[in-house]
Each structure stands twice: as C-alpha cells, then as structure tokens.
Structure 1
C-alpha cells in the first residue's frame, strides 16, 4: 500500500485536526450496540464471503486476510503463580498450564513476500479449557437476524486470542470495517483518515515475528458483571518477546525469510512470549467501541499474567502446515469470563464464522477441535 507524500500529509493533518472518531463512548465496563449494526455486519459477511468465492474460484481457498502463515507453532501457556485475585478468572488460574497452537501470519489479502511492509497477525488457541462458554446462539439483534447466530457447535474446550502487530486497528467499528472493504482505498483514506494513519503506523518490515509487540486492539471482559450490570474488568491483551530470536535483517530477495528465521531458531533452540493484560481505567481514553484508539500504557501499564514457552520443534512439514490452515480461530471460541466486547468483536463472531464455513466447505474440510497434543 503506497501513498504519495501529498495524500499522506493530508491524512496526517486531518487526523490531528479532527481527532480519532465520532464513535459514542460506552461507560466504563460496558459496551454499546449501535442501532442498525446487525445489517452492517450481515453486509460485511456477504461482501467478504463473495469476495472469497471470486478470489479463489477453482483453487484452494485461503483465508480472506492473513492468508500467508510465517509459522504454525505448538507451545505451553503457563499462568503466573502470583497474579492478583481480581484477575483470577477463566484460564487465568495461578499456575495453570494449557497446550497451545499459534499461527503467525502476514495480514494482507494476498500471499506476498515477507519483505513487504505489512500488518502482521498472531492467532493463539489454548486447549484443554473447561468452563462456561459464551453463547453462540443468543440473539442480541432481534428475531430477524437469527441465521448467523446459530450455535457454533465446533469447539468446546478452547480459548482463542487474536493479536495484531500494532496497538490500534484500522476501523473503529463495523461501519468503518465495511467501508474499508467496499470502497476504494483513496475514498477510504479521505473519509477515514485515522484508519489510514493507523495502517501507515502499523505496517512494518520485520525480521522475526517473535520480536513483534503484539496487541489485541479490542476489549474483552475479565470476569462477570456486578449488581449494576457493569463488567468487573475490561482488558486488552498484549504479547512481548521474552527471549533472543534469530535473524539480523530483512532479506529483500527471500520471500519466506521470516519462516526460515523461526525454523533456524527452533532447530535446537527455544522461544517465549510474555502474555499481558491492560486494564480499562478510563472509558474516554480507553474505549471499547472504538478500536482506532490505542490504550495508553502510562495510564494503564501492562500486567503480566502468563508466559508462552515454545520448545524446539520442526514446523515446516506439509502436514503441519495443512493442519494449521484448517484450524479456525475466532475470539468467540471463549469462556464467558473472557467475553469479547465492542463492535469489531461483535462483527467477528458472525463474519469470521461465515468466512471460515465458506473456506472449509470449499476445501472439503470438516471442522475439528484441536487437542493441543497434535504432532507432525
């Protein structure tokens, strides 16, 4: 995605003159469903599934975004033994361990060279998770939107976390998300300057994905609600490297160098990532309904919750790559105590499920739930 200097200057000036967004602020510990949101989400789903059908007609269907994986890794999610009692909800039990699968990827809609500047993604699935799960069959939008809210029925013991290699998203909510995919980039840039500013800031050339500072960019409940119907905690998640990773510089003439750097490292070595939460302490500055806004670490510092240990392994076999291609990630593969919040997450519940269904059906793949013990 290349912008000329004049357009870039215009976008930057507009961002700082007019702020981030006019999205209504949800009170602390709550979320707001915008009237008409159900129609927008349905339009997003229809648009992206149709786009997927056209893009891969007659070919193997890849993901609509993040089609290129840099690595598919197994590891262990180990919770700190000394986490504060108010954060001991769901999978965050002191000393608990869960097998985990992680898929690291380039975000752009087509398979490109690792050298290209891009957002990066990390999807993580904890397994062997027990507890009350979020309902995929509830109907928050009324009787006319039942079709896409049928029970998920595919995963009963997992907890998914999604991350981007930046601290903010390119869309505040479902409206912006639809505009991004339904309009030209120039039109989107002129009408959504903060979104494009975030894209420019977030696109980067990386050496090893394990060195990236990862952020969930959307909010999640941590625990239940109090007697006033307000969530005890609302958090974002983050990952930070806690080891020394292989690779010195980007390799312009090697389109797969990031995969090769991780593979080289894990031939005989290990890796690790520290898992953090960032607590919402200010509804205005740390909004749930506006994913364009990064949450200030000075106002609310990261709190370490767990570590992901990645052992020495070989992950480049075709069997393991195919396994990872067929996994479905969705933040709504979740315990109720980690309920996804905000418009982007409400859209993900439906859109990601519909796109996953379309992709797996086209590839003649039956849904399955990973155990965390698979080895190839």
Structure 2
C-alpha cells in the first residue's frame, strides 16, 4: 500500500485507539463456519470491473502488469517437504507425512505501481506447489495439479470483506484515499503497521491473513457446513539471509540473487488454528490471530537451492504465472469473504491481463528450466 500522509496517520491512530473494536464488523458465527452475505456476488463483480477498468487506463499503451504486486522481487524455485511426523488431525490433503512437491515462489511489492524497495510497503509472496493430486474446485478450473498459497508481510489485511476491499480501491482511484483511511480506522491501522522495509524477502514474517479449511466439512442437521479445522498459514525463515545491498531501488532482488548464486535458503511452513470464532474470525480479515492465543504449528519446510533467476525467459515465465488460492484441492478450501471474492476477481484479472498481453494461460510443472546468464537484476 502507498505511504499514508502524516496527518492521516495521526487521525487514524486517534480513531483506532478509541474505536478499534467498534469499527470492525465481525459476523457472530460458530467455530468452523463461514457466512456469505446477500449481495456479495454483486460486490465481487464490481471489484472485477473496477480493477480491470483501472488496468486498462493505467497501462493503456504498454503491457498490463498485475493490478497489485506488479514488482517482482524474485521468482524462485524450491521443494516443499511435509514433515515426516504430523498429528493425524492435520494429515489432510497435501499434508501427508513425507510428501514433497516442486514449488515456484514469487516475491513482490504490493503497491499498485513499481516502487523502490526502500519505500515502506506491504510485501507479497505467491506460492504454487505442483504435482498435487486430489479433488479440485470447479472454479477457476484452469489448473489440474497445483496448490496455491498467498501471503503478505503482515498478520492482517487492510479490508475486512469484499465491500471494504471495493471501497478502498474505489476511493484510491477517485482521489479520496484519505477519506477511506479516516472512515476505516482499523484498515488504516493495519496499513500503518504492515507497511515496512526489509533487506531480504526471506526475512519477512509471512502470513496468509485469510483463513482456510484443513479437511472436509461436516453438515449439521440445519445444513450448515462446519470445518473441523480452520487455519491461517504462516512462513518463517530457517536460514541466514544476508541483506548487504540497500542503496539500490531494487535491492530486495539483488540481495536474494546474491545469496542464492552460491548459497541456499529455507522457509518453515506453519498453521494457526482457529481457537475462538471471535478472536480468530473467518469473515473479518482485519483481525490478526494472536500467536499467544493460537501458537504456530509447523507442518512443512521449503528448501531453496542455489540458483540464478535473472534471465529474461524466467522473468517472463513468472510474469505470466496465474496465482489464485482456489487453485487447489477441496481439503484446503479458502474461507471468508475476501477469499470468495478472490476466486472470481483473480481469474478475471488474469484472463484480462494475459489476453491483452497476447500471452497464453499455462500450468507450471515445477520442472521448468531456463538458460541463465550472469545478468544484473536491472539492466
């Protein structure tokens, strides 16, 4: 997100300190349930149109970049290893002891335009596991053997639900960003806390900020579906990740490139369990899930081998990858309004961008190889 002006920071901090809980609409739901409100489909369609129309204007005479997260801070490969010993309750879907999957990871700055890495920003990480088997979701239906995970460099989102997401970008595109921040103090507070500077993408504390099922639901006598485990995902580094370069606009990719040319990296993959529907809501992405109340539980590790990722061919490959949390199997159903909107909006934006750029949709195999040369990050 873009930097918040100091006056808005002060107002937002005051409002948040007074009304932080009052301005956080959270439906009263039982543990393990979600609720789709009336009119959400209309809001989702409006989000798709708003963002697509803006892409058309923003990149009128050039290739269309992603609506958010347009700046690639490194697109690298690795192997996703499931722990050999897991609690049976967590042995769902891909999380089978000893399983491993090739994975592509794209690190990014989240703001809607290319910015210098020294500017405070939410950071993003999109991850795609390949060679995944199991029953899949009908939508988007464009990949058959993948499981995607999305992360931000913060533990909460800037919008509670699709309506607030639409409001944020509508005001942003129409010159009233300050209005949104003042009238949505919890979102402003999360932006203030989440916009940070890092020296290496592997040093970010990553969080999914939205909930997911871990296992199949059970239908009650009233027909309501209850998920035995609802979780958020998190990543933490398990390697020494230097960040010696800080005087370039593109130092995040430069430091990652320098590390992986001769060395390795790794990330540990965790879940947080929904312990309480109020403290860990499904329908309010503004609320962080306290690690004190719901400790991180490690399920897997991502090993990142030495590699080079700066070739034009690999950059173009990664630019055309489509990420969507609904690329996956039913045991890992995305939950909550933000995720329900993503199912449609991310597919619509990906379709538009690829079509406008003359690119073909494809499904990565995890075994792509690119001829590399010792190219700088930015020529």
TM-score normalised per structure 1: 0.94
Are 2:251 and 1:246 aligned? no
String of CA shifts for 1:71-99, please: whole Å, max 9, x gaps.
00000000001110000011101000000
Instruction: Tell me, in whole angstroms, the C-alpha distance in 1 between the residues paired with 2:105 and 2:86.
Output: 24
Aligned to 1:193: 185
The answer (yes or no) to whether the contact 1:205–1:250 under 8 Å persists in 2 is no
Deviation of 1:235 (Å): 0.2
For residues 5 and 49 of structure 2, the distance between their equivalents in structure 1, rounded to whole angstroms, comes to 32
| Structure 2 Cα separation of the partners of residues 66 and 127 of structure 1 | 22
- Residue in 2 that maps onto 1:36: 39
Instruction: Say which SS state the counterpart of residue 78 (structure 1) adopts.
Output: strand
Q: Which residue of 1 aligns with 2:154?
A: 166
Q: Structure 1 CA distance, aligned partners of 2:330 and 2:162?
A: 22
Q: Give yes or no for contact 2:16–2:189 (8 Å, CA) kept in 1.
A: yes
What RMSD, in angstroms, separates the aligned Cα atoms of the two structures?
A: 1.1
Query: Are positions 1:358 and 2:371 aligned together?
Result: no
Structure 1 gaps of 5+ residues are 137-151
Deviation at 1:24, TM superposition (A): 1.5
| Distance in 1, Cα, partners of 2:355 & 2:7 | 45
Partner Cα separation in structure 2 for residue 180 and residue 339 of structure 1: 26
Mapping of 1:364-375 within 5 angstroms? 364-375=358-369
Q: CA deviation at 1:336?
A: 0.2
Cα distance in 2 between the residues matched to 1:3 and 1:363: 32
* 2:312 paired residue number: 318
Other-structure match for 2:205:
213
User: Displacement of 1:225 after TM fit?
Assistant: 1.4
* 1:146 alignment counterpart: none
Deviations 1:169-220 (A, max 9, x none): 0000001100000012111011101101101100011100100000000000
The aligned counterpart of 2:276 is 282
- Are the counterparts in 2 of residues 170 and 198 from structure 1 also a CA contact under 8 Å? yes
Q: Is the 8 A contact 1:118 1:203 kept in 2?
A: yes
Q: TM-score if structure 2 supplies the norm length?
A: 0.93
Offset, 1:7: 2.7
1:129-182 per-position Cα deviation (integer Å, ceiling 9, x unaligned): 00011231xxxxxxxxxxxxxxx3320000000000000000000011000000
Q: Distance in 2 between matches of 1:63 and 1:227?
A: 38
Which segment is superposed worse, 204-213 or 4-13? Answer: 4-13
Indicate the residue corresponding to 1:298 in structure 2: 292
Aligned residue for 2:226, secondary structure, equals coil
Query: How far apart are residue 27 of structure 1 and its match?
Result: 1.8
Match of 2:165 among 161, 167, 177: 177
1:231 counterpart residue number = 227
> 8 Å contact 2:3–2:120 — kept in the other structure?
no
Deviations 1:324-367 (A, max 9, x none): 00000000001000000000001100110000000000011111
Instruction: Count residues with an aligned counterpart.
Output: 359
Unmatched 5+ stretches in structure 2: 371-379
Q: CA separation in 1, counterparts of 2:5 and 2:333?
A: 41
Counterpart residue number, 2:253: 259
Query: Is the contact made by 2:263 and 2:306 (CA closer than 8 Å) also made in structure 1?
Result: yes
